[in-house]
Amino acid sequence: MTESIQVLIAQNLGVDESRVTEGARLREDLGMDEISSVELAMALDELTGTETTEEDMSELITVQDIIQYLQRAG
């Protein structure tokens, strides 16, 4: 699951998969902005069957935060 999430993040943010490490910061390191945050949330929802809100996304700082969030959600 972790690898598929990392691949999805790389695709949605338009970065090389090698940059999407668990410690990578979504905004500072991977360039996520408000629009890509919403798009990523929708893609994660589709992949995992969860519902990720904009508020939830604003609290997620690193790739690891997303992985842990999705593990708790479902």
33 and 41 in contact (C-beta within 8 Å)?
no
Structural domain harbouring 32: 2-73
d(CA 11, CA 8): 5
pTM of the model: 0.92
The C-alpha atoms of residue 47 and residue 19 are separated, in whole angstroms, by 21
Phi, psi of 22 (to 5 degrees): -60, -30
Please tell me the total count of domains within the chain: 1
- CATH code for position 41: 1.10.1200.10
Query: Residue 43: which of 71, 7, 69, 17 has the closest Cα?
Result: 7
pLDDT tens track, the chain, 74 positions: 899 999 999 999 999 999 999 999 999 999 999 999 999 999 999 998 989 998 999 999 999 999 999 999 87
Residue 14: both structure tokens together: 């338009």
